[in-house]
Structure 1
Amino acid sequence: MVLELDFLSWPLILFLVLIFIDHFDFTKTDTTKKIIIRKINKKEGIEMTHEVIKKYIGKICEVHTLDQYVEGKITTVDDKWMEVEVEEKKSKSLELVNLDFVEKISVKV
């Protein structure tokens, strides 16, 4: 059995297909978009360098990355990584943060 469509059915089918495409976003997720933007900015010379961050060693800071943040004292910084000492209720832990994903650092005064 062959499905026959009349002249008026084609616009309706096209409309439904367009609604489907518009409803489901086939682009990349927000995190992936942020990573792509960061790589583009890095090529243009817009990046947070470790020399800037080294000024804040020993200070309590909030370090914001793409999808989370860490609050603690910055202990060491090298070319790609930053070590942050995080104090919890009765213990201390170390968080390693990849500098490629740091968006913002807020210094507590």
Structure 2
Amino acid sequence: MKAVIVKIERTCSAFPTQYEGTLDNGKMFYFRFRWGELCISESISPTEDIDDAIIGTVVLEIQTDDDWNGVMSPEQVVSYLSPIYQLSAEIRNEIFNPII
């Protein structure tokens, strides 16, 4: 069963596309797309420290053809998160309408 994203925050409004959040199991996750590389990682154990997710277990890593790219649409963000995590309508709304 997929972990559920219970909190998500867009932490950069420009380049790179970057999100962090909390899962229903208490772990944190980190989503970053910079220099054509997408990396999604999560903390090994429950935490409130995002650094634990940044240096934690990589759950997805993709290198695109465009090394200069660092911008991703909300639709793209959802398309990469959805196979890994469960996203409620509220979380999807946060991705499409971030409060920065």
- TM-score, length of structure 1 as denominator length: 0.28
Higher helix share: 1
Greater RCO (Cα-Cα under 8 Å, separation 6 or more): 2
- TM-score, length of structure 2 as denominator length: 0.29
Higher Rg of the two aligned structures:
1
